[in-house]
Structure 1
Amino acid sequence: MASEAGEKQESGRGKVTGSKLDLALVLLRLLAFFATLSATVVMALNKQTKTIVVATIGTVPITTTLTAKFQHTPAFVFFVIANGNASLHNLLMLVVGFMGPKWNFKGLAHLAIPVLDLMNVAIVSGGASAAVFMGQLGRDGNSHARWNKICDKFDSYCDRSGGAMIASLVGLMLMTVICSVNIIRLRNHNSNKIVLDSSVNVVP
């Protein structure tokens, strides 16, 4: 009887801890969703057109109009795709979380969700790293390769790109925390399962 009472107490503690982790996970997912969505929208809508003087003939300046868009840089295109995919993933995971046990076929959700989270962390990390590299190149250039900087000409474009990168990195940190919380939930789930199995096997 004493062992059964102890097992029930441990099970109750596990449920309380699980509910707190579930609430924390929902809040983290919401924040990560808004962060990656902001990064996607800001970068996707980022555009600046500027007219610059390229030459002067006598006193007549020769000008040209240039437009900077995220589509011109493959790294920024990947950045938009990666963060858009992460936003969709977090939104779907929130829906799955609210649907509850209906989506947890034989406990597969406990394993599938952490794996999908890790995949999205890897994708967003790659997109953010590529974008930050191109951003640094656009701001400072590369004198060894003779690549000129462009942020002195397209300052607004670079500022908005930097804001999108910061939002993406914030989302990446939140998603990393989400992965850690999922691992803790998985451990607690397995511990509770072991406790329940042992209570069933107790001889009265």
Structure 2
Amino acid sequence: MMKRGDYTTIDVPESAARSSSSKEKAPAMVAAAPVPRPTGWNKGLAIFDLILRISAIVAALAAAASMGTSEETLPFFTQFFQFQAGYDDIPTFQFFVIAMAIVGGYLVLSLPFSIVCMVRPHAAGPRLLLLISDLVALTLTTAAGAAAAAMSYLAHNGNPNANWLPFCQQFGDFCQKATGAVVGSFIAAVLLSVMVLISTVALRRV
């Protein structure tokens, strides 16, 4: 039997003491470093968008200039009548010139935003603004090109049911310039469509 005043000493291993103290403390959470997002793909899309934008500027302004300078006067005329054809004689061609000039001016003004998207590939604001503006420009280009194409078709082939005679046989140079302008507008529309697609893909990767 143990008497009062007698004590027994029990040695506790150091490893057990450490394990018990570690259980009392909550495990420390190590914050993972943020993984940098790859910028190569978006930057490549921005560079391609800038190249397409410059090409669309050339196509739109060339279409407007070609239609705006389409004019021809026949060599034979009388004292009271002069046979002349110009784009301002047809309201559809007037709308075409105004629309393509607006689209070309917009594309010039959009170049700084495209450069910002190239420098900051993950900036969503400028890319979204370009997407909406490109859609409006695409709609205007398509409308002007389609209307001018329909009028050019009538100028080349006429419409016997409506007694509309084709006059491109007489005004060949005028019709040739007008047709070239329509082709230029369609090229600009295709380039704008690709730019809209690029902006959509870039926004999905932001």
Aligned counterpart, 2:188 = 171
Aligned-residue CA RMSD in angstroms? 2.6
Question: 1:46 aligned to 65, 70, 75, which one?
Answer: 70
Give SS of 1:48's match: strand
Structure whose alpha-carbon radius of gyration is higher: 2
Q: TM-score, normalised by structure 2?
A: 0.77
Task: Give yes or no for the alignment of 1:8 onto 2:31.
Answer: no
Task: Give yes or no for the alignment of 1:30 onto 2:57.
Answer: no
Residue identity in the other structure for 1:31: S
Over 6 Å off, 4+ runs: none
CA distance in 2, matches of 1:115, 1:78: 22
Percent identity, aligned pairs only?
24
Give SS of 2:83's match: strand
Question: 2:94 aligned to 72, 77, 95, which one?
Answer: 77
CA distance in 1, matches of 2:45, 2:127: 13
Deviation at 1:4, TM superposition (A): 5.0
Task: Give yes or no for the alignment of 1:186 onto 2:167.
Answer: no
Give SS of 2:51's match: helix
Residue identity in the other structure for 2:59: A
Deviation at 1:109, TM superposition (A): 2.3
Aligned residues of 2:67 and 2:177 also touching (Cα < 8 A):
yes
Aligned residues of 1:75 and 1:131 also touching (Cα < 8 A):
yes
Aligned counterpart, 2:12 = none
Count of matched residue pairs: 174
Aligned residues of 1:51 and 1:64 also touching (Cα < 8 A):
no
Aligned residues of 1:52 and 1:63 also touching (Cα < 8 A):
no
CA distance in 1, matches of 2:133, 2:115: 18
Unaligned runs of 5+ in 1: 55-61, 190-204
Aligned residues of 1:121 and 1:176 also touching (Cα < 8 A):
yes
The farther-off stretch of 124-133 and 63-72 is: 63-72
Indicate the structure with greater strand content: 1
1:147-158 superposed matches below 5 A: 147-158=164-175
Question: 2:146 aligned to 116, 129, 137, which one?
Answer: 129
Unaligned runs of 5+ in 2: 1-30
Task: Give yes or no for the alignment of 1:19 onto 2:46.
Answer: no
CA distance in 2, matches of 1:147, 1:163: 22
Aligned residues of 2:42 and 2:205 also touching (Cα < 8 A):
yes
